[in-house]
Structure 1
Amino acid sequence: MRLLPINMCQPGMRLHQNIYSADGVILLAENVELTEHLIKRLQTHGITNIYVQDHRTDDIEIHEPLRMETKAKVLVEIRSSFRKMMYDTNSDNRHTYSFLGKKFREVFSLILDDISDHREAMSLITNICVMDSHLYQHSMNVCVYTSLLGIAQGYSREELYSLGLGSLLHDVGKVKIPKEILFKPGKLTDEEFKEIQKHTTYGFKMLKDEANIPLISAHCAFQHHERMNGSGYPRGIGGDDIHEYAQWIGIVDSFDAMTSQRVYRQAKLPHYALDILMADAGTLYDKQKVEVFRNKIAIYPIGMTVALSTGEVGVVVDLNNDYLHRPIVRILQDQDGQDLHAPYEIDLSKHLSLMVTEVNPTSGKMA
């Protein structure tokens, strides 16, 4: 098993995991052989990374925090609920969304059941569903990462529900944004961005009076773009005036946005996104919370191809939970780019002179 960016996949490779349609139906099954046409289809539908089979790494176990079945169910429910609100033609702005509390508590219960025993470092979540909007995948990702941080902080189950619902619904106000702006395939103008910023206020108004949704969760939607130095929106509050749940969500929201592919820009590699968060720690984000995030996220997830400072290329096969930046790597190619007949493993936590210098290097190829 090997995690590859879709733009590095080649015809003849075989899927290691199912790919689901937006309705939760298996679109491409495990073991399907990829063709040029299928690869282009996956790219078109926003799939950025997939697990493929590789006999040299077929013993690697996936350590994603959610089961594939859970991810598919959660994404289908998020998409269904958000689209129901987005395309609601009811002109009565006073109507409520009474289904949100019940449906999303059920959705979060599925997530919490999967991640409750996931005490180790979090791995990045692959997008296994073909979606018509990144909003749905983003909402799930932010919920999973944030909830794992909440578990690490020792939050009670009820606190996790408030944090989890707040993170799952943090962008719900975007259903009120004009669709031509929300789904614009290019970069937003300044006026369009101002319109997008209104989603925080819309989200708060939608959630604050709903049954089964804590008021704190509504404030998460309201405050997740506020920043510690007061430079955020919608109110420009800072420091302790920002609820701690919203502070967590703001960090994770920024990270996932930076590492997600957009039509108008390439996704940043995880370690670059983390560097940006660390640079802004103490200014935009709470420093201690960013450090917790850094210590809990596996920026080199299992299955990722990396190049070392020696010029060798390999695949991450395991993590060192105390040294997440220094994983165990199975070397597949020597410094000259030649495939090894006998791959071997290096524990970077025991070889401090070695560094990861590149992620998904173009020189790294499949045997």
Structure 2
Amino acid sequence: MRLVATRSLKENDILSKPVLHDNGNVLVQSGIPLSNRIISRLSDFGIGYVYVDDEITKDIIVKNVISDETRKEAIHTITKEFKEIANHHIVGQKLNPLHLSKDFSNIIQKILNDIKSSDDVISILSDVYCYDSYVFTHSLNVTIYTVGLAMKMKFSEKQLFEIGLGAILHDVGKVMVTKEILEKNGRLTDEEYEIVKIHSRAGYDLLRNAPNIPLLAAHCAFQHHERLNGSGYPQGLSGDEIHLYAKILAVADVFDAVTSNRVYRKAMLPHEGLEILYSGAGTLFDKTIVELFSRTIAIYPIGITVYLNDGRKGVVSKQNKYFSMRPHVRVFEQNGDRVEPYEVDLLKERSVAIIECEARLGTE
């Protein structure tokens, strides 16, 4: 299968993977020829890219980092619980958060089990899913990235559970912010930005009073927008004043934010998102965490078309688990001429490098 920008789809192209709503329902089924009407519908749904059948890549299979069942249950739980918290806030009722710990604990355990059983780097292409709320999907994606990174850092089971809960609940305070501001199609005013910033403290206040929610999980909500140089919020903490969990979460949070479609901005590709992190490494983000994160995620997703520095063109066919910036590439073109496809392992051919991906996915 090959990853193709929706805007580049042609009539009769065939999807390799179905397009799903984040609740698990199938929006567009795989295995049937696409009509212009369906292609238009995909664009209307905000789907930036899809996987399609391709003769050169027909044996390339993309595996999900968590199962569809786990994703469906996680999104359902996040949606239900966040909406309940929002409704209590709107009517001024005090929330009884007794069930928060149980519901989210079950989800975290399933995510941990799925990631542990995976033998590959983490790849999340959220645009392959259509979702009702960015906050809900973002909360899940950040959890997957955070837990995957924490595993690389050899966290104990207790620590993985704590940071997993903190990650899935890090944006719970955003239920206190109006949808009009959160999903505004354009730059926020200074006043609107100040309103958005309250979500960190609001989330902390909610979680620190919730039975069986670790206090460190509450601090994930409180500190995930703090930055090493003290330029973050809400407290302007710097350096070692910021808890390690929050430093990890900051990296995962920003990466998912820039690699997800938003109403005001198209998604970046993973390698572009990583450049954002590296540009702030040592000042905004912990440099060691950024470097480890780059080895945790798939910088170049399987199925994406890439250009090499020696004039060759191919499709990423396999990841090198600990060196995701140097995957396997199935070459099918050299200096503009088609060639019989063959594999190149960039980890072994160190003089060869990816210099560009085919026209940035999801852009106009």
Give me the TM-score of the superposition, normalised by structure 1.
0.91
The match for 2:342 is 344
CA RMSD of aligned residues (A): 2.1
- Pairing 1:194-273 to 2, within 5 Å after superposition: 194-273=194-273
The match for 2:174 is 174
The match for 1:188 is 188
Task: Tell me the SS of whatever aligns to 2:129.
Answer: coil
Determine what percentage of the aligned residue pairs are the same residue.
40
Q: Is the 8 A contact 2:171 2:199 kept in 1?
A: yes
Task: Tell me the SS of whatever aligns to 1:79.
Answer: helix
Task: Tell me the SS of whatever aligns to 2:33.
Answer: coil
Distance 1:269 1:129, change over 3 A: closer
Distance 1:351 1:27, change over 3 A: same
* Offset from partner CA, 1:213-264 (integer Å, 9 cap, x none): 1111111001000011111000101111111111100011011111112222
Give the letter aligned to residue 226 of structure 2. E
Establish whether residue 316 from structure 1 lines up as the match of residue 316 from structure 2: yes
Give the letter aligned to residue 353 of structure 2. M
In 1, Cα distance between equivalents of 2:61 and 2:182: 37
Give the letter aligned to residue 276 of structure 2. I
Distance 1:207 1:329, change over 3 A: same
Q: Is the 8 A contact 1:133 1:183 kept in 2?
A: no
- Pairing 1:1-367 to 2, within 5 Å after superposition: 1-88=1-88, 91-118=91-118, 120-336=120-336, 338-340=337-339, 342-361=340-359
- Displacement, 1:89? 6.8
Task: Tell me the SS of whatever aligns to 2:73.
Answer: helix
- Displacement, 1:175? 0.7
* Offset from partner CA, 1:148-199 (integer Å, 9 cap, x none): 1111111122211110010011111111101211222222222111111111
Distance 1:119 1:211, change over 3 A: farther
Give the letter aligned to residue 347 of structure 1. D
- Displacement, 1:269? 2.5
- Displacement, 1:331? 1.4
Q: Is the 8 A contact 2:65 2:115 kept in 1?
A: yes
In 2, Cα distance between equivalents of 1:63 and 1:24: 16
Distance 1:362 1:241, change over 3 A: closer
Aligned residue pairs, count: 361
Give the letter aligned to residue 39 of structure 2. I
In 2, Cα distance between equivalents of 1:83 and 1:35: 37
Q: Is the 8 A contact 2:173 2:203 kept in 1?
A: yes
In 2, Cα distance between equivalents of 1:281 and 1:30: 40
* Offset from partner CA, 1:285-336 (integer Å, 9 cap, x none): 1111111111222201211111122333211011223432111111123322
- Displacement, 1:118? 3.0
Q: Is the 8 A contact 2:227 2:236 kept in 1?
A: yes
Q: Is the 8 A contact 1:330 1:344 kept in 2?
A: yes
Distance 1:185 1:149, change over 3 A: same
Distance 1:73 1:49, change over 3 A: farther
- Displacement, 1:90? 5.5
- Displacement, 1:77? 2.5
Distance 1:171 1:90, change over 3 A: closer
In 2, Cα distance between equivalents of 1:127 and 1:150: 25
In 1, Cα distance between equivalents of 2:353 and 2:106: 43
In 2, Cα distance between equivalents of 1:169 and 1:199: 11
- Displacement, 1:95? 2.5
In 2, Cα distance between equivalents of 1:35 and 1:80: 35
- Displacement, 1:138? 1.0
Give the letter aligned to residue 280 of structure 1. G
Task: Tell me the SS of whatever aligns to 1:306.
Answer: strand
Distance 1:302 1:107, change over 3 A: same
Task: Tell me the SS of whatever aligns to 1:350.
Answer: coil
- Displacement, 1:127? 4.2
Task: Tell me the SS of whatever aligns to 1:55.
Answer: coil
Instruction: After superposing the two structures, state which structure 1 stretch, 113-122 or 147-156, moved more.
Output: 113-122
Distance 1:357 1:343, change over 3 A: same
Q: Is the 8 A contact 1:20 1:72 kept in 2?
A: no
Structure 2 portions without partners, runs of 5+: none
Distance 1:88 1:30, change over 3 A: farther
- Displacement, 1:93? 4.3
Structure 1 portions without partners, runs of 5+: none
Give the letter aligned to residue 299 of structure 1. I
Distance 1:192 1:32, change over 3 A: farther
Task: Tell me the SS of whatever aligns to 1:357.
Answer: strand
Give me the TM-score of the superposition, normalised by structure 2.
0.92
Q: Is the 8 A contact 2:22 2:71 kept in 1?
A: no
